[in-house]
Amino acid sequence: MALVSAVPLDSKTLFGFSHELKAIHSTVPNLGMCRGGKSIAPSMSMSSTTSVSNEDGVPRRIAGHHSNLWDDDSIASLSTSYEAPSYRERADRLIGEVKNIFDLMSVEDGVSTSPLSDLHHRLWMVDSVERLGIDRHFKHEINSALDHVYSYWTEKGIGRGRESGVTDLNSTALGLRTLRLHGYIVSSHVLDHFKNEKGQFTCSAIQTEGDIRDVINLFRASLIAFPGEKIMEEAEIFSTMYLKDALQKIPPSGLSQEIEYLLEFGWHTNLPRMETRMYIDVFGEDSTFETPYLIKAKLLELAKLEFNIFHSLVKRELQSLSRWWKDYGFPEITFSRHRHVEYYTLAACIANDPKHSAFRLGFGKICHMITVLDDIYDTFGTMEELELLTAAFKRWDPSSIECLPDYMKGVYMAVYDHINEMAREAQKIQGRDTVSYARKSWEAFIDAYMQEAKWISSGYLPTFDEYLENGKVSFGSRITTLEPMLTLGFPLPPRILQEIDFPSKFNDLICAILRLKGDTQCYKADRARGEEASSVSCYMKDHPGTTEEDAVNQVNAMVDNLTKELNWELLRPDSNGVPISYKKPAFDICRVFHYGYKYRDGFSVASIEIKNLVTRTVVETVPL
């Protein structure tokens, strides 16, 4: 296996790709082959299942995916009006003012720090800046506030203030959730103290706004559950039923909108920027907690400014992404899905720090390349072509494209150049060359794709365990996480990296969850195209007599159990010295894909929920 040069080659200069790829036919390009010199030019007047070329009769399957939804005009229409320095200056002033508010909370006789409400006020401030998407400015203040709350934490929870005589469900539930997410050791058994003598959660027959908000935070806390925490399961069941009932009784309002959002997205399909967009609309309507109007107004104005200032950056990054997409000839690959804008949007929803441009663009590019490769290996490519492409990836040399069909050349070079580009970005942070490490992850991924192609070609249906072991790799979650994560602003020495990446349990859980969840939404369409192997069909093979519905339910139950294990792996106190913040990007990427499979295969059918997400989070600004 050839080693990559320490100075990566610029393939677009070597091969003139910026010109060559533009010359590729607008349908499927000529497939010049090294073996036997065959030239095959399939027609694109194909059916959505199996088609035959009009020259050499090579059978090819295509899926009939809808086209790219976001052209250059759509991107060019994005506003950049918030790039003006005055908006940044105003935001910086507000950041200083909000820091002063946090500082006042630490003064014993400060405003809004009554000993009867100071604990809840601190938790409310932390929760507010996090949900409004502005918490990156207040890391020190958040830690100080939570240290204060934790110092008063008891086995029964906390009251609203340090001198409260009784514990409070709202404050305890919010504290349990927030402290746990920040790495504090807190037991869920504090919730036992809010049950009646029959061991059940209870509520008033009259559902006041205060009662409802208590249960909202109980529901939010219940989602941060670890394996075996029965109390959290009980809390989730109770709070879900309660909130659904409340929705039937209260009028449309910010409160009802918040409840609907929480019940819809929970935690594992909730994307931070998406939540921020919702919370901006409803923030400040909580009349049960007496926070001065001026504090709420400052927080809300800062959130709107930050949302819109980031929006201006998005336009430049999307224009860069679109140029990349065109330079490598992707528009000419008409049999594949083109979801680069959607993938970028998902990255922007979990990484809104302007400094993390390499993460957002890297994630968008990698996911798009994986999607194109998925369509090549699963549907369009012949076995002979796939063997050539797999060998080219293992050889890892730009000259390998000489033996590839034309339609594969640009894809190969896009992967080659991108890995080298991301490695250069990573080296600035990590202080070491990561190319060989990334290459190994890509080779394992391509091998897994090739294995699935062989199953499709032969009609072989593997066992569930055999399928899942390969599927955890072929989903591609490892490579979509690894390279972008290495460009973030914290060092990941090998000892730390192995606790996050392969072969850690943390990585294995993410890969399993996403493969299983993806299959529940994709298996019918895949099967219709001749791709029989899925966790659903393999489970049915291993368990004769199982209905399709029962198999789907079993797979979903596996996802639920694995998700609780993932919560523990993210937040467990004995993390071998790996901070939660180091694991969080990988966890958030898991949430991104989980969201994409919530309603359907959102990466194949991106014209409904995903399109709305793009509109709400990167196309539209919020009114100031």
Place of tokens 């441009």: 357
- Residues 100-123 pLDDT 10s: 999 988 765 544 567 878 999 999
Among 412, 322, 334, 430, residue whose Cα is nearest residue 369: 412
CA within 13 Å, CB half, 290: 8
CA distance 58 to 51: 8
Given a contact cutoff of 8 angstroms between Cβ atoms, the answer to whether 160 and 120 are in contact is yes
* Distance separating alpha carbons of residues 565 and 559, to the nearest angstrom: 10
Q: Which residues of the chain have pLDDT under 70?
A: 1-57, 107-113, 287-290
Sign, CA torsion 534/535/538/544? negative
> pLDDT value at position 290?
66
- Reported as type and span, the H/E element at residue 152 is none
pLDDT at 41: 31
Give one DSSP letter per residue of 195-214, joined into a string. B-TTS-B---SS--HHHHHH
Q: Can you tell me the distance from the alpha carbon of 56 to that of 600, in angstroms, rounded to the nearest whole number?
A: 37
Phi, psi of 52 (to 5 degrees): -120, 140
Cβ contact 227:270 at 8 Å? no
Cβ-based burial of 61 (10 A; exposed 0-12, middle 13-18, buried ≥19): buried
The pLDDT score that the predictor gives to residue 25 is 34
- What's the mean per-residue pLDDT of the chain? 88
Structure tokens at 421: 């580009």
Let me know: does 277 contact 616? Beta carbons within 8 Å. yes
Q: What are the Cα distances from residue 235, in Å, to 154, 173, 472? A: 19, 10, 32
DSSP per-residue codes, 90-109: HHHHHHHHHHHHHHHHTSTT
CA distances from 476 to 32, 442, 524, 582, 610 (A): 28, 9, 20, 20, 20
Half-sphere exposure of 392 (CA within 13 A, CB side): 23
Alpha helices in 381-405 (DSSP H): 383-395
Rounded Cα–Cα distance for residues 159 and 150 (Å): 12
**Distance between CA atoms of residues 229 and 227, nearest Å:** 6
Orientation of helix 293-327 relative to helix 357-375, angle to 10°: 50
Residue 316: CB atoms within 10 A of its CB come to 14
* Cis peptide bond upstream of 503, omega within 30: yes
| Single pTM value for the model | 0.90
Query: What does residue 60 show for φ and ψ, rounded to 5 degrees?
Result: -135, 140
**What is the spatial distance between Cα 556 and Cα 486, in angstroms, rounded to a whole number?**
31
CB 420 within 8 A of CB 411: no
Residue 188 per-residue DSSP state: G
Closest by CA to 181, choosing from 533, 594, 584, is 584
Which residues on adjacent β-strands are paired with residue 59? 52
User: How far, in Å, CA of 231 to CA of 496, rounded?
Assistant: 33
Domains of the chain: 89-303 (1.50.10.130), 304-619 (1.10.600.10)
Distance CA 548, CA 540 (A): 7
pLDDT of amino acid 19: 35
Q: β-strand 59-60 against 51-52: which pairing, if any? A: antiparallel
Distance CA 539, CA 548 (A): 9
Q: Are 234 and 276 in contact (CB under 8 A)?
A: no
Give the model's pLDDT for residue 106.
74
